[in-house]
Homo-oligomer: A and B are copies of this chain.
Amino acid sequence: MPTQLPVLQPQTVRKGPVVERPLKVGELAKLCGKTVRALHLYEEMGLLVPTQRSKGRYRMYDADAVMRVRWIAKLQDMGFSLQDIRTMSQQWEQSGSAPDAMAKVQALFEQKLAETQAQMQRLRMLSAELQASLEYLRTCPTCDPNRLIEACSACEEHQAFEDPPDLVAGFSAH
């Protein structure tokens, strides 16, 4: 713990957050749920630049960086690769006008939205398939325990099903 109590800084800003102390890379990492190595990687890729370096070459970040890293994480979560994000970021910086930049990002987001919706559709089908397979499997504990596995895949408990669902059938196919 600090031996000196924090000195209250005279506030020049009426509203808003206190001017944060610059962050070391480990602190930034913790605030963003990333590792130091990851932040270094982002920097190598030009995605994250420390606002300055300390006397001893320590990377120092300001509060903005927290937003930046969380933004990177969010895009990763969306399925963008770091390369994708790098391209996006560069396009943004290189575009001559705001509408130009907006249009490019817009296109990417629209494509991602389409992908996302398609993915949701597939997940719905997957979900249905899993439920069908579970339904099928749920009848199995009622099978005669002495019956062998090979027999079970066609046992009389399953007559309601034409065939075992694909996900179940694959087990018996050697």
Contacts and interface: CB of A to CB of B under 8 A. Distances in A.
Contacts of A116: 123, 126-127, 130
Q: How many copies does the complex hold?
A: 2
Q: State the main secondary structure of chain A at its contact with B.
A: helix
A30 B141 CA distance: 38
B13 A71 contact: no
Interface stretch (A35-43, A52-60, A162-170): A162-170
B127 A117 contact: yes
Contacts of A137: 102, 105-106, 109
Interface residues of A, number: 76
Interface string A128-139: 001101100110
Interface of A: 3-5, 7-8, 10, 12-14, 49, 51, 64-65, 67-68, 70-72, 74-79, 88-89, 92, 95, 97-99, 101-103, 105-106, 109-110, 112-113, 116-117, 119-120, 122-127, 130-131, 133-134, 137-138, 140-141, 143, 145-149, 151-152, 155, 163, 166-171, 173-174
